Amino acid sequence: MGHKRLGRSAIVVSDICMGTMTFGSQADEATAMRILDRSFEAGINFYDTAENYPVPPDPKWAGRTEEIFGRWLKTKDRDAIILATKVSGPSHGWIKSSQRAGMTALDRHNITRAIEASLKRLGTDYVDLYQTHWPDHGVGYEETLRALDDLVQEGKVRVIGCSNETTWGLTKSIAVAEREGTVRYETIQNNFSLNNRRFEDELAQACRQEGVSLIPYSPLGGGVLSGKYNGGAAPEGARFTNYLKIGGRQAAMARRFVNDKTLASTERFAAIAAEAGLSPVTLATAWSKQHDFVASTIVGVTREDQLADIFAAMDVTLGKDVLDAIDKVSKEILYPMG
């Protein structure tokens, strides 16, 4: 297991992070506890959750993931765990939070209420990394960063990060932090995988120059890169199988992740993995964590038997021939997810 620093902060994390967004929906509490225990035993010290989990967002179970994680956290030495959670961004766009009747935003009122509720559910007096779950470009970064800075000064948060942020938003926030003398985002949590390499276009360079770490989510392209949707398959209980049934935003998301281009590229990546003697899951996870701007790759599972191929990536470094083969597919099938 490798370890890297989060941005320019003092926090060092395992280069694989266990995500928890299905705990309390697709994965029940007993399963979640076993997954967390096995991850900790494997050397993972970094765990990511959010006030809006589990997914898909639903008021009937909003906050349940943090509650489950909080009960597990009590079985461990708190100092041994690097805990990340998130405050919901505005709910008038692509996604609506299940918290605060959907009236979420990144102003002081919402940030203060969110952290207090999360700390209570998690059963701890601080979180190591507190992230804005998606940007609120309608609220000035001055207000957001001042509110987050206060949490750091109060000892409730160690460092802050953003997620689903744009290049403009990241660099603008850093400029505001420098001008106002507040804490700055040390991390950015965006979608990044073999099927979605858009982060490399601009954001990767911004991260390198500003010393911000990417902690990518969905390195398996929402599970697509495992190959389970290939050949027109719709596995029972799988996320995008369920999302297509739900319709609306969830169905639109499913079609972005599962389409002719993503399935075609996935098939070719699977062949590269086989040639290298790896599972497709191990290949995708190893590829993600091998980038210089990545601190820790966030993985997620709903069953224990999905862990082995992820854990196998801990000790894998892909060679130039494998990386070149991957790049060839990416150039021939441009932006599979749009």
CA 336 to chain centre: 20
Place of tokens 């000064």: 153
Distance CA 288, CA 317 (A): 11
Cα 170 to Cα 231: distance, rounded to the nearest angstrom: 39
Element (H, E) at 117: helix 108-122
d(Cα 136, Cα 19) in Å, to the nearest integer?
A: 23
Interior CA angle at 67 toward 42 and 53, to 5°? 85
Q: Are 278 and 316 in contact (CB under 8 A)?
A: yes
- Clarify whether 53 is annotated catalytic: yes
| Structure-derived torsion over alpha carbons of residues 96, 167, 324, 271, reported in degrees to the nearest 10 | 0
- Return d(Cα 240, Cα 225) in angstroms, integer: 13
Q: How far apart are CA 318 and CA 57, in angstroms?
A: 36
Catalytic residue, chosen from 53, 185, 229, 243, is 53
31: buried, middle or exposed (CB in 10 Å: 19+, 13-18, 0-12)? middle
Asked if 65 contacts 23 with a C-beta cutoff of 8 angstroms, the reply is yes
Asked whether 119 and 156 are in contact (CB, 8 A), the reply is: yes
Active site residues: 53
